[in-house]
Amino acid sequence: MGGNTEPGDIHPNKSAVKTEHPASLRLLPGLLVTVAAVAVFSLYTIAQLRGLTRLQNEIIDRNRTDSLLLLRIQNNLNALGTAMRDMVDSSEPYPLTAWRSQFQRIRADLEDAVVREASVAPANRTEDQTRYLAASLMQFWNALDRVFLLAGANETEAKTQIRLSLQARHDALASTVARLLVQNHDREQAAAAETQDVYRRVERDVYIFMGAVLLVIAFTSVHLLRYNRRVFNKVTALSERRSELAQQLISAQENTLQTVSRELHDDFGQTLTAVGMVLHRAQRGLSPAQDNLREDLHDAHQALQTMLDRMRGLSHALHPVILDEMGLEGALESYVPTFERRTGIAVRFVKSGQTWSGDRQVATHVYRVFQEALNNVARHSGATCVEVRFSKSGSSALLEIEDDGTGFRQRTELGMGLVSMRERAEMLHGAIEFLEGSRGGALIRLLIPVEKETPSVRAVIESW
């Protein structure tokens, strides 16, 4: 059911809205700047994070591993110092050569720790420091071997060498390892401070970047809002002009139909009536011998009467004079038999509520919506039955036309049927809905106020 259109607004001609500069071209520089800023900031942040990772891996983690190995070396040196002290000060009757196996175990562990420490030594440690530690340790072991050789011949002299030579070399090694530990500690603190500085720079840059992005977004949003406001104003103006034009066309159509109807009824109708009277008098004035001519005049009179009836029906269809004679309810109800005879579709008319006493122009628009709805049923719906419900309550009137046809689901092309009904509803400050009926067909619902001071249309709809 319905005209060749689906419920909805008419879109204005695309050529009606023109902009000097498309919004997409205006926003393109801002988009490019934003993308470039994001790319630059992302690259900068990645570089900062990679530098931080390198700092952590190459300095902090390596420095901690080196410090642990230096502590291992320091522990072995402490073990050597304790062993030499026991060798010199021990009162037990053991020869000095008995300590050789203990020193060999300490030497093996110490040399392994020195080799490992050299492989993970910090990059900023000088080669002289590394060579000095290795050379000092080798000199210590060579001196220790000479002490053990001397101990086989003269233990007293060997103990003297331990006090004078070995302990001094041991103290020098311990001091070197301690300095290296202090250096590692200082480097670790410097790396931690540098890490915190990197974090602060990244955090600061994030805030700056977020502020810049927010400024770009704010600028773009303001531009879009201004552009959309201009577009909406143009669309609103076009919509108002379109609605005004449609209403003027409807008014002009009604005036034209009224003029044509009056011409048909007054001029042509009276002329045909006069011709019919002349034919009737001519028929009565014929003699019995002129029966053939009488029959011809009778047939002409009948054809003229049929033409006159059709012309009166067309006149009433063009301009419903019956609205003045019978009111809106009577006009709606009297149109039903005519529609049934013409289309063969059964129509059930139900009216309720108060009697219509609204304006003549309002009644005309309601009647036209009623006619258009039934005509669309006949043309498009394939329905066999239509129910028309009209009711008036308080300051509003409701007209519903429901059929059992295919409904709006089959409508795919745009037309003017439903658009005309929508425009008439807007002229009446009412609301029209195109819905799916309870029987699977279409339901057109027109709700209009019949007095000037009435509640809003939405309030009226909710009250129904």
Maximum C-alpha span of the chain:
187
- pLDDT given for residue 117 in this prediction: 86
Residue with tokens 């004679």: 325
Fold classification of 23-219 (topology level): Four Helix Bundle (Hemerythrin (Met), subunit A) (1.20.120)
Fold classification of 320-463 (topology level): Heat Shock Protein 90 (3.30.565)
- pLDDT given for residue 316 in this prediction: 65
Domain ranges of the chain: 23-219, 320-463
Q: How far is CA 284 from CA 289, 298, 339, in A?
A: 13, 10, 38
Q: How far is CA 105 from CA 115, 119, 289, 370, in A?
A: 16, 22, 163, 114
- pLDDT given for residue 446 in this prediction: 93
- pLDDT given for residue 200 in this prediction: 82
- pLDDT given for residue 411 in this prediction: 58
Strands 385-393 and 442-449: unpaired
Residue 332: CB partners within 8 Å, gap ≥ 6? 349, 351, 367, 370, 388, 390
Model-level pTM?
0.47
Q: Is residue 383 within 8 Å of residue 1, measured between CB atoms?
A: yes
User: 3-class DSSP state for residue 358?
Assistant: coil
Count of beta carbons in the 10 Å neighbourhood of residue 165: 16
Domains 23-219 and 320-463 are alike in CATH topology: no
Give phi and psi for 361, each to the nearest 5. -70, -40
- pLDDT given for residue 460 in this prediction: 43
Ranges of residues in the chain with a pLDDT under 70 are 1-28, 30-31, 51-52, 54-58, 90-93, 254, 258, 261-262, 264-266, 269, 312-313, 315-321, 409-416, 451-464
- Nearest Cα neighbor of 239 from 7, 5, 13, 6 is 13
